[in-house]
Chain A
Amino acid sequence: MPDRRIAIVPARNEEEAVARVVEELRAFDSGLDVVVIDDGSEDQTAARAAAAGAAVVSLPFNLGIGGAVQTGFKYALANGYDTVIRLDGDGQHDPQQIPNLLAPLERGEADVVVGSRFAEGGGDYKAPFARRAGIRWFAQLVSLLTRQKLTDTTSGFQAVNARAIRLFAADYPHDYPEVEAVVMVVRHRLRILEVPAQMRGRETGRSSITLLRSLYYAIKVTLALLVGIFRRRVVPLEEL
């Protein structure tokens, strides 16, 4: 039986971009199912996504990126998909690069593959200093905690296999979920791998992150990480 694949696209107030993301995904692979998680949008995000041919799950109010992405994993688990591709609803992730993410999964080399902006061969990513510093800080902290060299722990461009889908459907962190998810993945003895990826600049909308908030999140996620390594496993190893 061939792999059943689905793309999870979390989107909040992305009516300008979301249809193009869905269309690009369908153009890239017409057999690929797409589910858009509308995270309490106040605009036409859900309608545009549905019109473009995606399944749409509309949250009754805004849960934040972590809660939205987890909804996608729950959807994938309930509907029997065994590979998830996760990309953002703002169009910064290029579907043409999906095969790079899938390759290590297909070879059985990893359970989670992350498209990294900073891995060798990745794009030249320009970001404000504070953002780069934050990304750097988490990369080093997570590398230390997982004893594995990771360069981009905040990338939302990922491919995930059935074992990791089960884990993420059961538990997924809140705001900046990717950072904590890495530690969760390693604690559950799943394998994570980075591949270089280029990201496009945001086409519309603006990033949800401001300077003061970044600091707040940086402290909060650091706390979550440090406490997280002492947390008991959500899913027993034998069930993954």
Chain B
Amino acid sequence: MNPVTPLYVSIAATVASILLILVVLELIRSRRLRERYALLWLATGVVLLVLSVWRGGLNTIAGWVGVTGYPPAVLFAVATLFILAVLLHYSTVISKLADQNVILAQRLALLEQRVRPEREPRER
């Protein structure tokens, strides 16, 4: 039989998850975070919250994946996976922005050349 997650660990993890969710919601409310990018963070917070509150569930899942010593380790693993997903998602967003940036710079330069071809390049 698996040891049960210590109560204090569950409480601390619950508080942390709720805080994460609240911060994300506040960032959306104040328009500092687009909903599109907030969704993964919210999903992270909700999953962590569920696993923190539902202690029996955490123990069961720990049993499935063979974590016998310390069930909260599963909490760390899940959190890590979600953070990796968020980071990978950001890398794709950055790549897309970089590509769009190149296209914009090229269009701007070509337009500038058409509008005032004889002019000296703008001073820096």
Report which A residues bind B (CB closer than 8 A). 37-38, 42, 46-47, 50, 55-61, 63, 67, 70-71, 74-75, 78
| Interface residue B108 (Cβ < 8 Å from any Cβ of A) | yes
Of listed A42, A57, A61, residue having the most chain B CB within 10 A: A57
Contact in complex: B121, A46 (CB < 8 Å): yes
Residues on the B chain within 8 Å of A37, using CB = 109
> Which residue on B lies nearest to A73, using beta carbons?
B106
Q: How far is the CA of A189 from the CA of B81 in the complex (A)?
A: 42
A residues near B102, Cβ cutoff 8 Å: 63, 67
B122 interface contact, C-beta 8 A: yes
Kindly list 18 other residue pairs between chains A and B, CB separation below 8 angstroms, not including A57-B113, A58-B113, A60-B109.
A37-B109, A38-B121, A42-B124, A46-B121, A47-B120, A50-B118, A56-B113, A56-B117, A56-B121, A57-B109, A58-B122, A59-B105, A59-B109, A63-B105, A63-B106, A70-B106, A71-B106, A78-B110
B112 lies within 8 A of chain A by Cβ:
yes
Contact mask B93-123 → A, CB, 8 Å, 1/0?
A: 0000000001001101110110001101110
Partner of A71, one of B109, B117, B118, B124: B109
* B106 in complex: contacting residue of A47, A55, A59, CB < 8 Å: A59
Q: List 12 A-B contacts (CB under 8 A).
A: A37-B109, A38-B121, A46-B121, A50-B120, A57-B110, A58-B109, A58-B113, A59-B106, A60-B109, A63-B102, A63-B105, A67-B105
Q: Looking across the interface, which residue of chain A has its beta carbon closest to that of B108?
A: A60
Bound-state Cα–Cα, A61 to B104, Å: 11
Q: Are B121 and A75 in contact (CB under 8 A)?
A: no
**B117 and A55 contacting across the interface, CB-CB below 8 Å:** yes
Contacting residues, chain A, for B124 (C-beta < 8 A) = 42
Tell me, in angstroms, the Cα distance from A57 to B114 when the chains sit together: 9
Contacts of A47 in B (CB 8 A): 120-121
A residues near B121, Cβ cutoff 8 Å: 38, 46-47, 50, 56, 58
A37 CA to B105 CA, complexed, in Å: 12
The answer to whether A60 touches B117 (Cβ under 8 A) is: no
Residue of A at shortest CB range from B111? A57
CB distance from A74 to the nearest CB of B (A): 6
Q: How far is the CA of A61 from the CA of B105 in the complex (A)?
A: 8
